[in-house]
Amino acid sequence: MQFKDLHLNRHILKSIVEKNYDKPTLIQEETIPLILEKKDLIATAQTGTGKTAAFALPILQILFDKQDAPKKGKKIRALVVSPTRELAIQIDENFKTYGKYTNLRSTVVYGGVSIDPQKEILQKGVDILVATPGRLLDLSKQKIVNLANVEILVVDEADLMLEMGFIEDVLKIEKQCKQNKQTLLFSATMPFKVQQLANTILKTPLKVDVTTTNLVTEKVDQTLYYVPKPKKIELCLHLLRNTIKGSVIIFRRTKFGVDKLEKALIKNNYKVDSIHGDKSQNLRQEALKSFKKGNVDILIATDVASRGIDIKDVDAVINFDMSNIPETYVHRIGRTGRAGKRGSSYSFCSADEKSYVTNIEKLMHKNIFVVEDHPYPLDPKAKSEVHKKQGSKYKKGRKSEASKKKKKRWY
């Protein structure tokens, strides 16, 4: 199937051609026809699968076909609610790209920046609004935003909404939209509370499940290093000097951890930038742009960047701190191995993180290759305890880093 077979109009197809898109991804192929039929939809799909285009293209088509409002005083007809600022900005950029040959106007609103410029744009009128929940409710209270004409509501990354405590905000937003609207819910996973949310705000929805956990993990060569927590920075420097090359994203659990590692890498003459919640939105955007352009080789981040951020050609991901949420691990390593290319992930596990590894491997239905031949191994007693608790599933990888590159063993 090609995009031209999806009955999109020539204005949208022209923008798709300019992006060098040819065949739709599986999530696009399955959801676009259903959305065009005005069906409510629950779609399970991870980032990196073309999910944004899966809802943006048909929304543009629907709004374009009914476009009869004058340029001034446009009413918000489509609303996309996104959990993070970075993801919201990216979604709006995609709407602008795909809709460049239509007269449809979109904008994005989010916290962490001045509200006044956002008010000015909204008062001129937009067809499509992308928003984070907090800023949207703030604008609504100030009577700047009126959602009464919203025909299509998209709740994106619903499981992350749940993790970040936004579900109640989403319910408040949904109640402000038209009663007979079309609602689309996208989520990487479908925990019980997200299913409850779907049951509350959707009407007899169709379901599309394009779960790609195996596809993501198959594209990424994963390695695991058991290492004492105080030695993680030394191991990181060792790998950056001897093994890991190119563009790298390093994930840490806390803002303090991000800052500490950034200082250590800068001290060792690496080109580094970082993003976390304490940084202003402008600084976070500058860091992402700098990394995308190749001005810095390493981006250190908390999990605010683990999903939804479209950064091409990331060569490797380092899980400096293991994620306690298995799905988050998959999202993290999914930042590499994109667009048909292979990627690499390097995970550092201290003694107190061993249970996280067990849960990650259960999700993936595979074990991660353990590298034992490195300068900072975990204490033998702690290591044997790890193997004992996990049923001695791991086979020892006694090959050197150089030989491992030639031939990896997977379990």
- Summarize pLDDT for 223-247 with one digit per residue, the tens: 999 999 999 999 999 999 999 999 9
Q: Note the pLDDT of residue 385.
A: 53
Whether 74 and 105 share a structural domain: yes
- For residues 56 and 95, is the Cβ–Cβ distance under 8 A? yes
User: Is residue 180 over pLDDT 70?
Assistant: yes
Q: Would 31 be classed as within a structural domain?
A: yes
Q: Among candidates 110, 140, 69, which has minimal Cα distance to 118?
A: 110
Would you place residue 331 in the very low, low, confident or very high pLDDT band (cuts 50, 70, 90)? confident
Whether 221 and 273 share a structural domain: yes
How remote is the C-alpha of 172 from its chain's centroid?
24
- Domain termination residue (choose one: 160, 183, 211): 211
Q: Would 411 be classed as within a structural domain?
A: no
- For residues 307 and 160, is the Cβ–Cβ distance under 8 A? yes
- For residues 252 and 322, is the Cβ–Cβ distance under 8 A? no
Whether 173 and 224 share a structural domain: no
Could you tell me the two tokens for 200? 């509350």
Whether 207 and 221 share a structural domain: no
- Domain termination residue (choose one: 211, 246, 264): 211
Whether 189 and 318 share a structural domain: no
- For residues 197 and 313, is the Cβ–Cβ distance under 8 A? no
- Domain termination residue (choose one: 196, 211, 226): 211
- For residues 372 and 396, is the Cβ–Cβ distance under 8 A? yes
Domain range holding 57?
A: 3-211
Whether 389 and 287 share a structural domain: yes
317-328 burial, b at 16+ Cβ within 10 Å, e below that, comes to bbbbbbbebbbb
Whether 218 and 304 share a structural domain: yes
User: Distance between CA 230 and CA 211 in Å, rounded?
Assistant: 37
Q: What is the pLDDT of residues 150-178, one digit of tens each?
A: 999 999 999 889 888 899 999 999 999 99
Whether 195 and 299 share a structural domain: no
Question: Phi and psi of 41, rounded to 5°?
Answer: -145, 140
What total of structural domains would you count in the chain?
2
- For residues 318 and 335, is the Cβ–Cβ distance under 8 A? no
Would you list the DSSP string of 91-131?
HHHHHHHHTTTSS--EEEE-SSS-SHHHHHHHHHB-SEEEE
**Helix count (H) and strand count (E) of the chain?**
17, 14
> Of 89-103, 120-134, 259-273, 279-293, which range is least confident?
279-293
Q: Would 177 be classed as within a structural domain?
A: yes
CATH number at residue 61: 3.40.50.300
Whether 32 and 127 share a structural domain: yes
Amino acid at 57: L
User: Distance between CA 32 and CA 27 in Å, rounded?
Assistant: 8
H/E run at residue 250: strand 248-251
Whether 151 and 237 share a structural domain: no
Whether 233 and 127 share a structural domain: no
> pTM for this one?
0.73
Whether 94 and 188 share a structural domain: yes
In 3-state terms, what secondary structure has residue 363? helix
Chain mean pLDDT for the chain: 87
Q: What is the pLDDT of residues 357-404, one digit of tens each?
A: 999 998 888 899 999 999 999 876 655 555 555 444 444 443 444 444
3-state secondary structure 282-336: HHHHHHHHHHHCCCCCEEEECHHHCCCCCCCCCCEEEECCCCCCHHHHHHHHCCC
User: Distance between CA 150 and CA 177 in Å, rounded?
Assistant: 5
